[in-house]
Structure 1
Amino acid sequence: MHSSSADKNPAPRPAVGPAAVDPRRLRADDLRYLLAVARTGRLVAAADALGVDHTTVSRRIAALEKSLGLRLMERGTEGWTLTDAGKTVSENARAIEDALARVVDAVSGQDTPSLRGTVRVSAPDGFGTVITTPALARVRRHHPGLHVELVTATRQLTLHASGFDLALAIGRPAGSRLVTEHLTDYALGLYASDEYLARCGSPKSTADLREHALIFYIESMLQVGDLDIERHLPGVAPAFSSTNVFAQLEATRVGAGIGVLPAFLARRAQLRRLLPDEVDIRLPITLAVRREAVTQATVRAVRDAMHHEVADRVAELLPG
């Protein structure tokens, strides 16, 4: 997520401390501003979601902190994050969003309540685009009042619980303040185009890969330990590298070399699988949710949709 001048220089936060809280001084609408910043991690992004100026967001949260006598948010390396008190407040504040949604459904005459609000999902580039997107589209069809945001980047799952409601990440986090579960495994293998194989020949063993151009991630910029090529193909270094799996896929398709690619991407591009008995990499996808968002109906709907999607597409993710 990109920072902005507004986020770097927010309005001064009030000096707050424990105090008796007068419920009459609380403005319930201020809680919506807290939820928006908690969800996005950015003042400007929260302001866009609420249809107001970022200074309004900062002012309303400052007023809420003053009324409660508690610090609710703090500036982190990746944006604004909730304090422990802020997490407690936001967990209870979600009931207000749910109540507003029920009011809208009631006056619109809907028999079946439709989910409303915004849910932000973070996922790796390839998995997010090909697997997550159809699941999110299905949720939107059932709940047209729901706004869905998908942020894609192949990086280590950050454990600061900021900037997303639900995250999908490669690997299993070791210790986390997030609620995590194993979603699925997926397979990677060696793939090449017919044109490349006709021009350069096909490797007969992994030792032959040293004579070919390998396509994979940029080692020095890799943020996911499970994708370290040395773990899977010791002594083989990529000749064509990219931080984006779709660039790797395209480079393989046009004959730049042999790609180490997810099966669910390579098969769609009609690439040839090489050395399947020797190179069959299986990696886990972890589903993580911020603790304060676990009981949120929108998050539960997306989680359920992801489980249904991977169950329906196991043959693509883990081909026999």
Structure 2
Amino acid sequence: MHPRSSDEDPAPQPAGSRHSVDPRRLRADDLRYLLALSRTGRLVTAADALGVDHTTVSRRIAALEKSVGLRLIERGRDGWTLTDIGRAVSEYARAIDEAVDRVADTVAGQDAPSLHGTVRVSAPDGFGTAVATPALVRVRRQHPQLQVELITATRQLALRPSGFDLALVIGVPSSSHLVTEHLTDYTLGLYASDDYLTRYGRPETVTELREHALIFYIESMLQVGDLDIEHHLPGMIPAFSSTNVFAQLEATQQGAGIGVLPAFLAQRTQLRRLLANEIDIRLPITLAVRREAVTHPAVRAVWAALRHEVAERAADLLPE
């Protein structure tokens, strides 16, 4: 019998087998494997967090599904997601996982419970680097046994999101599988280098801006509607485009054109703000948490740290 690959579906249960199972006979430890997969969305990552092989995770979840006679996970676009009953089961499994952590802390003689496990955060490139990273570092200093992972990509969330515990997204995602809150707004403006302004002049009106090279995202590959340049500068087509905001920032510093950049990144450089009164784009950042992760102490600690960081950086995010 060959072991399953990391992408293979755990063994399906026969539709008529439910009457023969006894959920009270399930192995409580199998619940920890389901919980680990619910947090990561991937068998290999869940296995790394548990210190086992990915085939073990697949086998233990398949055993759990056999015990309860129901499917608990299903394949999503970006990994594995929990079914409705799987989410309910994982909430109860969380209590077991937290109890194990409390026992470990007690045995170790710690005065206050420490946070364990892995928390994965997804965020846009710029916001994730400049804002989320300091918050995650602060949490790690307070809880050195906690593992944090940051995935950066400027994209929309899937309707059935997976592969993260918390996500920072531009705009307002719509999914019944998420708990969301408006975290902050941030400003984008027009910026140029002194070298560019010396060679090509400084636009004094939006009309004059059309005579200059613009730097922004690749429209055909853009997945975030709020960043559509047509909404903010109708009729303008970027001369230099990239899916990565740091490439846009570098191109602007190199004098390739006028960049439409987040103020919290551009203000760290020697770039000049242009037409600040006419072009002041404000976009919302939403913090989204998968419902099955909302009550997890480590997730809530990261959530609080992100709120604190945003409050501390208000002047950078929304400069006057």
TM range (shorter): over 0.9
Unaligned runs of 5+ in 2: none
Does 67-76 or 182-191 show the bigger shift? 67-76
* Structure 1 vs Structure 2 CA RMSD: 1.5
Are residues 151 and 19 of structure 1, via their aligned partners in 2, closer, same or farther at CA, if it must alter by over 3 Å? farther
Are residues 173 and 10 of structure 1, via their aligned partners in 2, closer, same or farther at CA, if it must alter by over 3 Å? closer
Amino acid corresponding to residue 114 of structure 1 in structure 2: S
- The number of equivalent residue pairs is 316
Contact 1:6 1:44 in 2 (8 A): no
Normalised by the length of structure 2, the TM-score is: 0.95
- Tell me the distance in 2 between the aligned counterparts of 1:106 and 1:265: 44
Are residues 174 and 23 of structure 1, via their aligned partners in 2, closer, same or farther at CA, if it must alter by over 3 Å? closer
Contact 2:171 2:284 in 1 (8 A): yes
- Tell me the distance in 2 between the aligned counterparts of 1:19 and 1:232: 59
Contact 2:78 2:161 in 1 (8 A): no
Q: Which residue of 1 aligns with 2:81?
A: 81
- Percentage identity across paired residues of the two chains: 74
- Tell me the distance in 1 between the aligned counterparts of 2:126 and 2:298: 23
Q: Which residue of 2 aligns with 1:309?
A: 309
Q: Report the 3-state secondary structure (helix = DSSP H, G, I; strand = E; otherwise coil) of the residue aligned with 1:211.
A: coil
- Tell me the distance in 1 between the aligned counterparts of 2:175 and 2:55: 36
Contact 2:10 2:61 in 1 (8 A): no
Q: Report the 3-state secondary structure (helix = DSSP H, G, I; strand = E; otherwise coil) of the residue aligned with 1:284.
A: strand
Q: Which residue of 2 aligns with 1:118?
A: 118
Amino acid corresponding to residue 120 of structure 2 in structure 1: R
Amino acid corresponding to residue 125 of structure 1 in structure 2: D
- Tell me the distance in 2 between the aligned counterparts of 1:174 and 1:96: 31
- Tell me the distance in 2 between the aligned counterparts of 1:156 and 1:87: 22
Q: Which residue of 2 aligns with 1:299?
A: 299
Give 1:175 deviation, angstroms: 4.9
Amino acid corresponding to residue 34 of structure 1 in structure 2: L
Contact 1:139 1:302 in 2 (8 A): yes
Give 1:78 deviation, angstroms: 1.7
Give 1:37 deviation, angstroms: 1.4
- Tell me the distance in 1 between the aligned counterparts of 2:177 and 2:122: 16
Q: Report the 3-state secondary structure (helix = DSSP H, G, I; strand = E; otherwise coil) of the residue aligned with 2:156.
A: coil
Contact 2:38 2:292 in 1 (8 A): no
Q: Which residue of 1 aligns with 2:94?
A: 94
Structure 1, residues 63-90: CA drift from partner, whole Å, max 9, x if none? 0000111110011222111000100000
Give 1:49 deviation, angstroms: 1.9
- Tell me the distance in 2 between the aligned counterparts of 1:19 and 1:281: 59
Q: Which residue of 1 aligns with 2:71?
A: 71
Amino acid corresponding to residue 8 of structure 1 in structure 2: D
Are residues 7 and 209 of structure 1, via their aligned partners in 2, closer, same or farther at CA, if it must alter by over 3 Å? farther
Give 1:24 deviation, angstroms: 5.5
Give 1:20 deviation, angstroms: 6.9
Contact 2:263 2:317 in 1 (8 A): yes
Contact 2:186 2:285 in 1 (8 A): yes
Q: Does 1:228 align with 2:231?
A: no
What are the within-5 Å matches in structure 2 for residues 1-320 of structure 1?
A: 6-15=5-14, 18-19=18-19, 22=22, 25-320=25-320
Does 244-253 or 69-78 show the bigger shift? 69-78
- Tell me the distance in 1 between the aligned counterparts of 2:19 and 2:165: 30
Contact 2:160 2:175 in 1 (8 A): no
Amino acid corresponding to residue 140 of structure 2 in structure 1: R
Does 17-26 or 94-103 show the bigger shift? 17-26
Contact 1:159 1:178 in 2 (8 A): no
- Tell me the distance in 1 between the aligned counterparts of 2:80 and 2:263: 37
Structure 1, residues 128-161: CA drift from partner, whole Å, max 9, x if none? 0100000011111111111111111000122313
Q: Report the 3-state secondary structure (helix = DSSP H, G, I; strand = E; otherwise coil) of the residue aligned with 1:8.
A: coil
Structure 1, residues 135-194: CA drift from partner, whole Å, max 9, x if none? 011111111111111111000122313111111100012454311110000000000111
Give 1:18 deviation, angstroms: 3.7
Contact 1:19 1:68 in 2 (8 A): no
Contact 1:189 1:274 in 2 (8 A): yes
Normalised by the length of structure 1, the TM-score is: 0.95
Amino acid corresponding to residue 217 of structure 1 in structure 2: Y
Does 147-156 or 26-35 show the bigger shift? 26-35
Give 1:21 deviation, angstroms: 5.5
Are residues 61 and 133 of structure 1, via their aligned partners in 2, closer, same or farther at CA, if it must alter by over 3 Å? same
Give 1:50 deviation, angstroms: 1.7
Give 1:94 deviation, angstroms: 0.5
Amino acid corresponding to residue 205 of structure 1 in structure 2: T
Contact 2:136 2:305 in 1 (8 A): yes
Structure 1, residues 30-61: CA drift from partner, whole Å, max 9, x if none? 11111121111111222222222211111100
- Tell me the distance in 1 between the aligned counterparts of 2:181 and 2:24: 41
Amino acid corresponding to residue 217 of structure 2 in structure 1: Y
